[in-house]
Amino acid sequence: MMHALELKDLRKSFGQTEIIRGVQLAVRAGERVAIIGPNGAGKSTLFNLISGRLAPSGGHIVLNGKRIEGMKPFEINRLGLSRSFQITNIFPKLSVFENLRCAVLWSLGYRYTLLRFLANLDDANARAEALMKMIHLERKREVLGMNLTYAEQRALEMGVTLAGSASAGSASAGSANVVLLDEPTAGMSRSETTHFVELIKEVTAGKTLLMVEHDMGVVFDLADRIAVLVRGEVLAFDTPEAVRANRQVQQAYLGATENT
Ligand SMILES: Nc1ncnc2c1ncn2[C@@H]1O[C@H](COP(=O)(O)OP(=O)(O)OP(=O)(O)O)[C@@H](O)[C@H]1O
């Protein structure tokens, strides 16, 4: 079984306090996994470890068979892992198309050499076009980031995140791609959320998805498996049905928040 992402006895302490306490998690290629857990359980810290923003205090992180702990975020990104953020992370004064093209160029590593930049501009334009179609923002092509609706900004953010993947434009090509989404539907209305969940399914088809999400409707709709993180440990990692039926999980988390 090929795993896209493996966390092996992963640990992180801040000062004397161990926040991530020996996390084991093996995510299969092409699988969609949601991480849930109470506030302060360590979900953001876990994402920061995987994406290279924080260095672990112990353990290993393996991306497509390669150990990545201790690498810089951009190096991990080049190895096929892209991440979105809770806050919208787009350039407000660039148009939809320009935002996507920037992200494509950055991901291809063209920011340093003008000659390479010019030689590959057609390629970058084509990939930006493909991404724009994928996130259904063709009709907003020239609109500045700051003038989009909130949901459109989140869709653009998704496009920017996916620009890092080698297979942008062809949904099936990249088993090597792992996408981390940090509360993708936060701040959205119910109807925006429903629409956005469909978009997430569409744009991450064939990719491996790991997301932190508080909305249980979204979690149960999207996830193949759910990891429940409580006080820095994985309490359960199973199918939605099994997690829903798990007594320990109900006590620790779900019972209290499922209907909120
Ligand atoms: N840089 C840091 N220094 C010290 N403590 C930290 C740091 N970052 C996070 N923590 C602590 O680690 C714990 C886990 O925080 P984290 O943000 O990872 O939880 P979370 O599960 O994402 O919570 P939420 O659902 O509220 O976003 C918290 O007690 C937090 O105060």
ipTM of the complex model = 0.95
Structural domain boundaries enclosing 61: 1-79+214-260
Mean pLDDT confidence for 103-113: 70
Ligand 1 near 45 CB (within 6 A): yes
Ligand 1 near 41 CB (within 6 A): yes
Residue 140 banded pLDDT, cuts 50, 70, 90: very high
> Residues near 46 by Cβ (< 8 Å), separated by ≥ 6?
7, 10, 20, 23, 35, 229
Query: Identity (one letter) of the amino acid at 127?
Result: R
Q: Is 149 inside any structural domain?
A: no
Distance CA 46, CA 37 (A): 12
Q: How far is CA 71 from CA 51, 130, 184, 226, 244, in A?
A: 9, 30, 25, 27, 36
CA 93 to chain centre: 24
Distance CA 231, CA 235 (A): 9
* Pocket-testing residue among 19, 49, 214, 260, ligand 1, by greatest number of atoms within 8 A of Cβ: 19
**Phi, psi torsion values for 190, nearest 5 degrees:** -60, -45
Q: Is 26 inside any structural domain?
A: yes
| Number of structural domains in the chain | 1
Distance CA 260, CA 60 (A): 35
- Residue 96 DSSP SS3: helix
Cβ–Cβ < 8 Å for 164, 108: no
The CA R_g of the chain, rounded to the nearest whole Å, is 18
Nearest Cα to Cα of residue 162 among 174, 179, 150, 176: 179
Cβ–Cβ < 8 Å for 84, 196: no
Closest protein CA for atom 2 of ligand 1: 14
The tally of CA atoms less than 13 A away on the side-chain side of residue 12 is 26
- Residue 212 DSSP SS3: strand
Q: Is 208 inside any structural domain?
A: no
* Pocket-testing residue among 10, 36, 44, ligand 1, by greatest number of atoms within 8 A of Cβ: 44
Q: How far is CA 121 from CA 62, 74, 84, 233, in A?
A: 33, 21, 25, 46
Ligand 1 near 44 CB (within 6 A): yes
Which of 28-32, 51-55, 84-88, 94-98 is predicted least confidently?
84-88
Q: Is 56 inside any structural domain?
A: yes
pLDDT of residue 252: 78
| CATH code at position 247 | 3.40.50.300
Q: Is 94 inside any structural domain?
A: no
Q: For residue 42, give the ligand 1 atom closest to its CA.
A: 18
Burial grade of 224 (CB within 10 A; 0-12, 13-18, 19 or more): middle
Ligand 1 near 257 CB (within 6 A): no
Q: Is 55 inside any structural domain?
A: yes
Distance CA 59, CA 10 (A): 4
Q: Is 206 inside any structural domain?
A: no
pLDDT of residue 106: 77
* Pocket-testing residue among 12, 45, 230, ligand 1, by greatest number of atoms within 8 A of Cβ: 45
| Ligand 1 centre distance from Cα of residue 142 (Å) | 38
pLDDT of residue 174: 33
Ligand 1 near 42 CB (within 6 A): yes
pLDDT of residue 103: 86
Residue 260 banded pLDDT, cuts 50, 70, 90: very low
Nearest Cα to Cα of residue 79 among 115, 110, 43, 50: 50
Q: What is the pLDDT of residues 229-252, one digit of tens each?
A: 999 999 999 999 999 999 988 887
Residues in the chain: 260
Q: Is 3 inside any structural domain?
A: yes
